[in-house]
Amino acid sequence: MLTTYISQKLAQARYKILENGSYFGEIPGLQGVWASEKNLEKCREALCEVLEEWLVLKLQDGDKIPGFSIKINHRIKRSPVPEYA
């Protein structure tokens, strides 16, 4: 589920070459998810790490994650507690 979300968002990433020759990457719609590196491959790797860390923080804080929905079943089946004589 998270792997699919990460893959989908990375496929939406936008990259550009900056004036100094380094690369900048960001994912539209995910505020604060960006990276800047000397080459495109490093920029992609860094952007993936930033996205993963961003997701962890969002989940920890209980924040809404754009484009991600999960249904949690709060009903828990309890096993009967055995009675000992």
The pLDDT, as a whole number, for residue 81 is: 58
Q: Is the confidence at residue 74, as pLDDT, over 60?
A: no
pTM: 0.77
Asked whether the beta carbons of 31 and 55 are under 8 A apart, the reply is: no
Read off the pLDDT of residues 12-71 as tens digits, 9 standing for 90 and up. 999 999 999 999 999 999 999 999 999 999 999 999 999 999 999 999 999 999 988 765
Q: How confident is the model at residue 70, as a pLDDT? A: 60
Whether domain 2-61 has CATH 1.20.810.10: the reply is no
Looking at residue 68, its pLDDT comes to: 81
